[in-house]
Amino acid sequence: MATWNLSRTRKHVLLCNGGSCTRAGAEEVTKAFRSAIKEAGLDDLVHTTKTYCNGRCEDSCVLIVYPEGTWYRNVTPQLAEEIVQKHMANGQPLEASISHQWSPDGFERSADAPVGRFKSEKNAE
């Protein structure tokens, strides 16, 4: 197993590989994103982590960029490559593909993203 030196890392990207995202092509998205990172020469600046479910199954495939707190939805391999070219390399998020964006008041949902439910409502069923 490798132990990466993260001292040059500027962005951490979480690539959902939970059940819904896997059925929607998460492995292909993960491979495309990681390949595009390498091709762009951003390996030392962008660290990626495959996760299990991030709780936004209606948005699959989900890709999350930190430290900005940008949640992308309906990510395809092609969109993953575009996110690398525009957001990772040039600091230009793809607004039309964002479901949520961090702000000091919490996450702001894009107008057309599914609302979902609060986790506290889960136990009420």
DSSP letter (8 states) at residue 112: T
Q: Is residue 25 part of a domain?
A: yes
Confidence band, pLDDT 50/70/90 cuts, at residue 1: confident
Cis peptide before 77 (omega within 30 of 0): no
Q: Residue 115 pLDDT > 70, yes or no? A: yes
Q: Is residue 64 part of a domain?
A: yes
- Report the alpha-carbon distance of residue 35 to residue 87 in Å, rounded: 15
Q: Residue 107 pLDDT > 70, yes or no? A: yes
pTM metric for this prediction: 0.92
The residue range of the domain holding 67 is: 11-112
Mean pLDDT of 75-101: 97
Mean pLDDT of 85-97: 96
pLDDT at 119: 84
Max alpha carbon distance in the chain (Å)? 48
Burial 41-63 (b: 16+ CB within 10 A, else e): ebeeebbeeeeeebebbebbbbb
Contact 85, 46 (CB under 8 A): no
Q: Is residue 1 part of a domain?
A: no
pLDDT digits (tens, 9 = 90+) for 29-50: 999 999 999 999 999 999 999 9
Q: Is residue 4 part of a domain?
A: no
- Structural domain total, the chain: 1
Q: What mean pLDDT value characterizes the chain?
A: 95
Q: Is residue 124 part of a domain?
A: no
Write the CATH number for 33.
3.40.30.10
Number of H helices, E strands in the chain: 4, 6
Q: Is residue 3 part of a domain?
A: no
pLDDT at 5: 94
Q: Is residue 41 part of a domain?
A: yes
pLDDT at 120: 86
Contact 100, 55 (CB under 8 A): no
Q: Is residue 2 part of a domain?
A: no
Confidence band, pLDDT 50/70/90 cuts, at residue 122: confident
Confidence band, pLDDT 50/70/90 cuts, at residue 118: confident
